[in-house]
């Protein structure tokens, strides 16, 4: 038997080796267009980045060593240019000699792979613009970087390989900008999972533009200029196109083999093409996906290698072994993250009208009490009826690989989420928890299927809010202070049973916490207390916040310059660093392994033990800590001296800030009294802007809150108080706290005040609540008018801490020494 194999890398070389192991007598010839065979194409980005240092490591075999070991002929630099099926011959171009010849076969094997897509954009063929498929491409990129001392690279396309390239170019010392046409990176992931990757890329100082396409390239001096469809120009030293690949099925098509809708070679379950004497494997074939039952192409090395083994067996032993398709199990390292997926995403299932349910969980890589536990986010999709697993996506740091492999194996077996809940796994604290993340994903999904819990996803929150539904944040008050979903009320889980009277039964209730676990317990309490429409926000605040914040990271290199020392200095820093701070020997607080809110709670309790002016370093592994520590420092007035992220570890240095010294008014300075009469948000803001300004300039400030102004200083969560009928009526009609205030103009049913708050946030102006706290901290005296309280049925317990109750006399006394007296 004479076998000819076209393509000498993943599929081709593996087929040849297995053929020889099964059949010592046959003649086997490999034709490879390139110089190298059986090399590690998956390792190419890492060689460019310098992670793989020795180029020789990329070569698993040379043509000579492979030929010798398996007693076969490797004809490298030999391109097959056509197939004559009637004569069972191929036409070969010998690239070394520049001559052509024919070679006959009994059986022909096609493993030509896939080719990178290079769109016909103006200027795309100029020097410095690359694609990456093989060793020569790799050599060209590496040499170009070295010879041109490239400092900046533009990566077009943010798929798995695009991101691997971005990371490796960054590792090689280049600044990297990514431009991606889709609204997210890594399209096999759902948006909410990709958003975790977006937020991580931001911490790595990678610039990236989403929903943006490159429309042309041009030369500008030594630089390449890429014009985007937003009219923005990006100047760069080099470009790597990573837009995608397509099956290299030209030869097959030209000789009349059946080609499928996605452009791949059609094969049957024995990997035989429409010609019984020609078989095919790898990136060039299309095959039925076991989940969607549609024909798809899999561009992965694992399936190519496994197909090769089946194919060789069928050639030698007759068509006996069946290929059952790939569930596209893929994994990639993206800086410190590991990102993996298997099966089909929720987005794709929706596009294909395949009924499905999804759930997202955020868990730890292993037992939280054992050092080094790191967060892991998992989203699974499953069938609504029998709960059959349809897909899984994981973003995490540690242990992602073994979980995705478990999901992959489960998918191949057609298991249900009920089975996942009970998958038996090896457990000891350094490796997992007694309930592995895979089990937990199964259990949560099972709860959904069995109607024990109802969930909504982060996208539905906006419409829920508009429809007047109730959002309850069941985290602690400290966590709530750090930020929540706008419009949410805070009822900590442990207090929910005492507040049932305040939660209406006729409204839809959306409950959430950090990740969904406490919310699940709260939902179960409410449901068992007779509430019918209770929903847990899937993935909790973590998913909501990650997915709803800004995703792209634009213009971060603006203002960069090259210093006299030839180093690039960046105009914008990601960390708040106070270089001049003498921090001395710092106490280290280890909050690694704690999940939100653990790190912040540890931060608070550790800070309580410090004296003013002392600092400590705290390390945490929960990614949310990067943002939380900044918010916490702002809220508490402590000073964040340094914030860094290295690997999965976030490190912050915080100094307990001395209380501002109260400057007593100097001779000639007068005090200020303000009357806060209105509960319009804008007027309340004006009151506190003036009050804080007056305090800053050394004045003593007294604010007298009367009538509607009392609503400004109501606490958000109030204790139960006895009220008469009118008090209760007023209580229902009036804003419950400063967070509920509307604008005096253009309020538009609350939209105006939300916009105002959003704009203030964007412009980094303190919120009203921060201003109120600042005024109190700086010694402002708040007096609530006793008479107004009596009339409106407001009780002292409803106010924030620090409010005194007084009458008009108290106020008038203060006006005596005031040079400023305002009515707002
Ligand atoms: P290939 O391995 O690409 O081999 C095809 C060979 O056929 C080529 O060498 C080509 O020169 C030759 N050829 C084509 N036409 C002819 C002709 N007419 N005559 C002679 N020779 C011809 N997959 C993963 O699973 N994980 C990863 O981490 C991963 N990383 C990757 C990183 C990079 C940079 C690249 C390019 C790919 C990566 N892949 C990865 C994909 C993986 O390499 C492919 O899925 C796999 O190699 C496909 O095997 P194949 O045999 O079909 O094609």
Q: Render pLDDT for 420-461 as a digit per residue (tens, 0 to 9).
A: 999 999 999 999 999 999 999 999 999 999 999 999 999 999
Question: Which tokens belong to 607?
Answer: 């800070």
- Residue 103's contacts (CB-CB under 8 Å, 6 or more residues apart) are 4, 29, 31, 89, 90, 92
Locate the DSSP E strands across 144-261: 152-156, 175-179, 207-209, 214-220, 223-228, 233-236, 238-241, 245-247
Residue 307 has pLDDT above 90, yes or no: yes
CA atoms within 13 A on the CB side of 376: 30
d(Cα 766, Cα 338) in Å, to the nearest integer?
37
Q: Is 779 left (phi over 0), alpha (psi -120 to 50) or beta?
A: left
**Which strand (E) or helix (H) includes residue 163?**
helix 160-171
Determine whether the shortest distance from the Cβ of 11 to ligand 1 is under 6 A: yes
42 is catalytic: yes
DSSP state of 39: B
pLDDT at 328: 97
Determine whether the shortest distance from the Cβ of 159 to ligand 1 is under 6 A: no
More confident residue, 575 or 120: 120
Q: Output the CA angle 748-754-756, nearest 5 degrees.
A: 95
Angle, helix 625-636 to helix 598-608, in steps of 10 degrees: 40
Q: Output the CA angle 383-386-390, nearest 5 degrees.
A: 30
Determine whether the shortest distance from the Cβ of 326 to ligand 1 is under 6 A: no
Average pLDDT over residues 88-92: 98
Pick from 137-141, 273-277, 473-477, 570-574: least confident: 570-574
What would you measure as the largest C-alpha separation in the chain, in angstroms? 112
**Ligand 1 atom closest to the CA of 116, numbered from 1:** 36
Q: How many Cβ atoms sit within 10 Å of the Cβ of residue 361?
A: 22
- Cis previous bond, 597, omega within 30: yes
Please name which of 268, 217, 458, 249 lies closest in space to residue 358, comparing C-alpha atoms. 458
pLDDT at 178: 98
Determine whether the shortest distance from the Cβ of 799 to ligand 1 is under 6 A: no
Instruction: State the Rg of the chain over Cα.
Output: 33
Determine whether the shortest distance from the Cβ of 411 to ligand 1 is under 6 A: no
Determine whether the shortest distance from the Cβ of 95 to ligand 1 is under 6 A: no
Query: Which residue's C-alpha comes closest to atom 12 of ligand 1?
Result: 7
d(Cα 523, Cα 733) in Å, to the nearest integer?
28
- 17-20 long-range contacts (CB < 8 A, ≥24 apart) are 17/66, 17/70, 18/308, 18/309, 18/312, 18/313, 19/312, 19/315, 19/316, 20/70, 20/71, 20/72
d(Cα 108, Cα 692) in Å, to the nearest integer?
83
Q: How far is the CA of 167 from the centre of ligand 1 (A)?
A: 21
d(Cα 8, Cα 273) in Å, to the nearest integer?
19
Average pLDDT over residues 730-754: 76
Choose, from 42, 255, 596, 785, the residue flagged as catalytic: 42
**Ligand 1 atom closest to the CA of 330, numbered from 1:** 25
Banded pLDDT at 584 (limits 50, 70, 90):
low
**Ligand 1 atom closest to the CA of 12, numbered from 1:** 51
Q: How far is the CA of 283 from the centre of ligand 1 (A)?
A: 7
d(Cα 142, Cα 240) in Å, to the nearest integer?
12
CB 5 within 8 A of CB 17: no
Please name which of 72, 75, 129, 68 lies closest in space to residue 101, comparing C-alpha atoms. 75
Q: How far is the CA of 42 from the centre of ligand 1 (A)?
A: 9
| Residue to mutate (ligand 1; options 242, 304, 330, 404; most atoms within 8 A of CB) | 304
Determine whether the shortest distance from the Cβ of 161 to ligand 1 is under 6 A: yes
pLDDT at 715: 83
d(Cα 236, Cα 230) in Å, to the nearest integer?
17
Average pLDDT over residues 503-516: 94
**Which strand (E) or helix (H) includes residue 563?**
none
Determine whether the shortest distance from the Cβ of 248 to ligand 1 is under 6 A: yes
d(Cα 769, Cα 755) in Å, to the nearest integer?
16
pLDDT at 583: 53
How far is C-alpha 286 from the chain's CA centre?
Answer: 31
Determine whether the shortest distance from the Cβ of 49 to ligand 1 is under 6 A: no
DSSP state of 283: G
CB 30 within 8 A of CB 80: no
Determine whether the shortest distance from the Cβ of 299 to ligand 1 is under 6 A: yes
Question: Which tokens belong to 757?
Answer: 């708050």
**Ligand 1 atom closest to the CA of 7, numbered from 1:** 7
Q: How far is the CA of 534 from the centre of ligand 1 (A)?
A: 51
Q: How far is the CA of 115 from the centre of ligand 1 (A)?
A: 8
CB 79 within 8 A of CB 92: yes
Determine whether the shortest distance from the Cβ of 31 to ligand 1 is under 6 A: yes
Q: Is 716 left (phi over 0), alpha (psi -120 to 50) or beta?
A: alpha
* Residue where the block lists tokens 């490999």: 30
CA dihedral (70, 76, 80, 84) positive or negative: negative
Q: How far is the CA of 9 from the centre of ligand 1 (A)?
A: 6
151-182: b (≥16 Cβ within 10 Å) or e? bbbbbbbbbbbbbbbbbbbbbbebbbbbbbeb
**Ligand 1 atom closest to the CA of 245, numbered from 1:** 36
The helices-and-strands tally (H runs, E runs) of the chain is 24, 42
pLDDT (tens digit per residue) in 792-812: 888 888 888 888 877 776 677
pLDDT (tens digit per residue) in 680-709: 888 898 898 888 777 776 778 899 888 889
pLDDT (tens digit per residue) in 133-183: 999 999 999 999 999 999 999 999 999 999 999 999 999 999 999 999 999
DSSP state of 766: P
Banded pLDDT at 260 (limits 50, 70, 90):
very high
Q: How far is the CA of 605 from the centre of ligand 1 (A)?
A: 55
Q: What are phi and psi of 362, to 5 degrees?
A: -120, 120
Determine whether the shortest distance from the Cβ of 374 to ligand 1 is under 6 A: no
Determine whether the shortest distance from the Cβ of 44 to ligand 1 is under 6 A: yes
| Dihedral, 462, 463, 464, 465 alpha carbons, nearest 10 | 60
Q: How far is the CA of 282 from the centre of ligand 1 (A)?
A: 8
**Which strand (E) or helix (H) includes residue 548?**
helix 540-548
Q: How far is the CA of 95 from the centre of ligand 1 (A)?
A: 20
**Ligand 1 atom closest to the CA of 36, numbered from 1:** 9
| Residue to mutate (ligand 1; options 47, 48, 93, 112; most atoms within 8 A of CB) | 112
d(Cα 168, Cα 132) in Å, to the nearest integer?
13
Q: How far is the CA of 292 from the centre of ligand 1 (A)?
A: 25
Average pLDDT over residues 531-554: 93
CB 314 within 8 A of CB 24: no
Banded pLDDT at 724 (limits 50, 70, 90):
low
CB 647 within 8 A of CB 336: yes
- Residue 734's contacts (CB-CB under 8 Å, 6 or more residues apart) are 679, 708, 711, 792
Banded pLDDT at 667 (limits 50, 70, 90):
very low
DSSP state of 260: -
| Residue to mutate (ligand 1; options 4, 5, 8, 10; most atoms within 8 A of CB) | 10
Query: Which residue's C-alpha comes closest to atom 46 of ligand 1?
Result: 301
Question: Which tokens belong to 137?
Answer: 């491409």
| Residue to mutate (ligand 1; options 4, 283, 296, 307; most atoms within 8 A of CB) | 283
d(Cα 477, Cα 455) in Å, to the nearest integer?
24
Q: How many Cβ atoms sit within 10 Å of the Cβ of residue 146?
A: 10
**Which strand (E) or helix (H) includes residue 711?**
none
CB 342 within 8 A of CB 325: no
pLDDT at 504: 93
Average pLDDT over residues 562-590: 52
| Dihedral, 612, 615, 620, 624 alpha carbons, nearest 10 | 60
The mean pLDDT of the chain is: 89
Q: How far is the CA of 226 from the centre of ligand 1 (A)?
A: 29
| Residue to mutate (ligand 1; options 82, 108, 111, 113; most atoms within 8 A of CB) | 113
Determine whether the shortest distance from the Cβ of 133 to ligand 1 is under 6 A: yes
**Ligand 1 atom closest to the CA of 13, numbered from 1:** 51
More confident residue, 681 or 764: 681
For 697-767, where are the alpha helices, taking DSSP H only?
725-733, 751-762
Pick from 73-87, 90-104, 664-678: least confident: 664-678
Q: How far is the CA of 280 from the centre of ligand 1 (A)?
A: 13
Determine whether the shortest distance from the Cβ of 676 to ligand 1 is under 6 A: no
SS3 category, 466: helix
Q: What are phi and psi of 583, to 5 degrees?
A: -100, -10
pLDDT at 810: 66
pLDDT at 814: 72
**Which strand (E) or helix (H) includes residue 147?**
helix 135-147
Average pLDDT over residues 316-321: 97
Banded pLDDT at 658 (limits 50, 70, 90):
low
Query: Which residue's C-alpha comes closest to atom 8 of ligand 1?
Result: 7
Q: How far is the CA of 41 from the centre of ligand 1 (A)?
A: 7
- Residue 151's contacts (CB-CB under 8 Å, 6 or more residues apart) are 173, 174, 175, 237, 568
């Amino acid at each position: 038997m004479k076998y000819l194999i076209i393509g000498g890398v993943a599929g081709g070389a593996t087929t040849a080796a297995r053929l020889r192991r099964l059949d010592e007598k046959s003649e086997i010839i490999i034709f490879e267009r390139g110089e190298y065979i059986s090399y590690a194409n998956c390792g190419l980005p890492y060689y460019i980045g310098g992670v793989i240092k020795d180029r020789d490591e990329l070569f698993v075999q040379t043509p000579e060593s492979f030929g010798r070991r398996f007693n076969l002929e490797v004809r490298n630099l030999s391109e097959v240019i056509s197939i004559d099926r009637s004569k069972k011959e191929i036409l070969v171009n010998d690239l070394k000699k520049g001559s052509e010849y024919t070679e006959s076969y009994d059986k022909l094997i096609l493993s030509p792979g896939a080719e990178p897509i290079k769109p016909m954009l103006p200027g795309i063929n100029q020097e410095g613009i690359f694609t990456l498929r093989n060793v020569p491409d790799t050599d060209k990129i590496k040499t170009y970087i070295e010879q041109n001392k490239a400092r900046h690279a533009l990566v077009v396309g943010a798929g798995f390989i695009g991101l691997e390239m971005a990371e490796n170019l960054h590792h090689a010392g280049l600044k990297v900008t990514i431009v991606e046409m889709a609204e997210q990176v890594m399209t096999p992931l759902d948006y909410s999972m990709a958003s975790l990757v977006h937020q991580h890329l931001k911490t790595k100082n990678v610039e990236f533009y989403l929903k943006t396409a490159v429309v042309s390239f041009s030369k500008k001096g030594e630089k390449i200029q890429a014009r985007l469809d937003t009219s923005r120009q990006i100047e760069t030293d080099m470009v790597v196109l990573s837009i995608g690949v397509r099956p290299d099925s030209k030869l097959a098509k030209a000789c009349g083999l059946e080609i499928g809708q996605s452009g791949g070679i059609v094969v049957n379950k024995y990997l035989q093409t429409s010609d019984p004497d020609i078989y095919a494997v790898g990136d060039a074939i299309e095959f039925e996906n076991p989940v969607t039952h549609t024909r798809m192409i899999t561009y992965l090395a694992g399936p190519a290698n496994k197909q090769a083994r089946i194919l060789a067996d069928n050639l030698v032993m007759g068509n006996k072994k069946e290929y059952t398709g790939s569930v596209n199990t893929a994994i990639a390292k993206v800086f410190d993250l590991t990102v993996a997926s298997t099966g089909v995403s929720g987005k794709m299932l929706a596009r294909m009208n395949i009924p499905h349910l999804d759930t997202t969980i955020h868990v730890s890589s292993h037992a939280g009490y054992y050092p080094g536990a790191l967060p892991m986010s998992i989203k699974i999709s499953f069938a609504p009826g029998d709960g059959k697993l349809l897909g899984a996506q994981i973003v995490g740091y540690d242990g992602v690989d073994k979980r995705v492999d478990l999901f992959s194996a489960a998918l191949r077996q057609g298991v249900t989420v009920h089975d996942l809940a009970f998958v038996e796994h090896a457990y000891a604290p350094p490796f997992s928890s007694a309930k592995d993340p895979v089990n937990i994903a199964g259990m949560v999904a099972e709860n959904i299927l069995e109607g024990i819990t109802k969930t909504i996803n982060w996208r539905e929150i906006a419409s829920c809010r508009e429809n007047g539904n109730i959002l309850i944040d069941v985290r602690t008050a400290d966590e709530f202070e750090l930020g929540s979903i706008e419009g949410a009320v805070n009822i900590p889980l442990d207090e929910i049973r005492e507040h049932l009277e305040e939660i209406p039964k006729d409204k839809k209730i959306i409950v959430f916490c950090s990740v969904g676990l406490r919310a699940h317990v709260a939902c179960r309490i409410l449901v068992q207390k007779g509430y019918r429409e209770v929903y847990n926000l899937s993935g909790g605040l973590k998913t909501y916040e990650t997915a709803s914040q800004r995703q792209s990271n634009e213009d971060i290199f603006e203002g960069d310059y090259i210093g006299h020392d030839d180093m690039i200095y960046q105009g914008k820093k990601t960390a708040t660093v106070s270089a001049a701070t003498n921090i001395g020997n710092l106490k280290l607080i280890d909050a690694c392994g704690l999940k939100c809110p653990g790190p912040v709670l540890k931060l608070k309790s550790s800070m309580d033990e410090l004296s003013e002016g002392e600092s400590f370093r705290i390390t945490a592994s929960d990614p949310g800590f990067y943002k939380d520590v900044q918010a916490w420092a702002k809220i508490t007035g402590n000073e964040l001296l340094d914030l860094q992220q290295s690997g999965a570890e976030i490190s912050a240095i915080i100094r307990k800030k001395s209380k501002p010294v109260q400057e007593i008014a100097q001779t000639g300075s007068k005090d200020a009294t303000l009357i806060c009469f209105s509960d319009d948000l804008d007027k309340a803001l004006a009151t506190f802007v003036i009050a804080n300004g007056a305090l800053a300039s050394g004045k003593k400030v007294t604010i007298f809150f009367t009538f509607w102004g009392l609503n400004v200083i109501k606490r958000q969560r109030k204790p139960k108080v006895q009220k008469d009928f009118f008090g209760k009526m007023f209580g229902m009609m009036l804003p419950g706290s400063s967070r509920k205030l509307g604008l005096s103009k253009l309020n538009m049913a609350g939209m105006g005040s939300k916009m105002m708050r959003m704009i203030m946030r964007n412009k980094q102006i303190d919120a009203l609540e921060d201003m109120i706290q600042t005024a109190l901290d700086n010694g402002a005296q708040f007096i609530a008018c006793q008479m107004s309280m009596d009339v409106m049925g407001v009780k002292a317990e409803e106010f924030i801490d620090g409010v005194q109750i007084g009458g008009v006399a108290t106020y008038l006394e203060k006006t005596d020494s005031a040079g400023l007296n305002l009515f707002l």
